[in-house]
Amino acid sequence: MDNKIYTFFQTVYKCIQISIFFWLSLLKGVFIYSLIPSLSSLFRTVDDFLLQKDVQDIKELFDQHFNKFRTYKLLSFTFSLLLIICWSSLFFLNKSESSYSLALTIVVVYLLVVIFIALIYFANYTAFRPLTVKQTLALSFYSLYRHLIHSLYVLFWTMLFIWVAKLNLVFFIFFAPFLYGIAVRLSLKKILK
């Protein structure tokens, strides 16, 4: 019985470690420059953790993956800039009293969702498929529409964790990245084979 309790708490501790290292890696690049390396490292580390439960040093494993994906700073900046522009334009569209503001809001929300889901696909393809950047980017946008059900799963998980963040920020900080990594990994498992 004591061994099972010890194993449970070790597993929870490693889940928290993965989440904390994800946030720290995002902070390394001031969120903007490390978005893709952090997400790819998260997905890869979660996958390694699920496949081999005896992973001892989570920090070393996460850093190893992060260093492998560090070259995607410019693309991270581009994705981040597009997301920031879409998000900021929603604020200004909300303040606008134009007759076109509702239509523009729908278009911007659609673009925001497409860019974010393409980012998630890109991070997964980067983590699990050895392709060039152009191939991975093209495959990400293609997969977004080709595998629409899986894209909707990713959107569902994203919205769920945003809701969780509003309910309990502490839980979100310590557990959400790990759980989001598992959820996205399981949602895209058939595609990434």
Rounded distance, CA 75 to CA 86, Å? 17
Is residue 178 over pLDDT 70?
yes
Please give the pLDDT value at position 125: 93
DSSP structural state of residue 34:
S
**Burial class for 188, CB neighbours closer than 10 Å (0-12, 13-18, 19+):** buried
The per-residue pLDDT for 98 is: 81
Q: Which sequence spans correspond to the domains of the chain?
A: 2-187
| 16-41 pLDDT per residue, tens | 999 999 999 999 888 899 999 999 99
Query: pTM for the whole thing?
Result: 0.91
pLDDT of residue 185 exceeding 80, the answer is yes
pLDDT in tens, 106-164: 999 999 999 999 999 999 999 998 889 999 999 999 999 999 999 999 999 999 999 99
Q: Give residue 38's pLDDT.
A: 94
Q: pLDDT digit string (tens) for 50-79?
A: 887 666 788 888 988 999 999 999 999 999
Are 180 and 22 contacting, i.e. CB atoms less than 8 angstroms apart? no
Residue closest to 120 by CA, chosen among 55, 192, 169, 175? 192
Helices (H), 52-147: 58-68, 73-95, 101-128, 133-146
pLDDT number for residue 50: 84
Longest dimension (CA), the chain: 66
DSSP E strands: which ranges in 56-192?
A: none
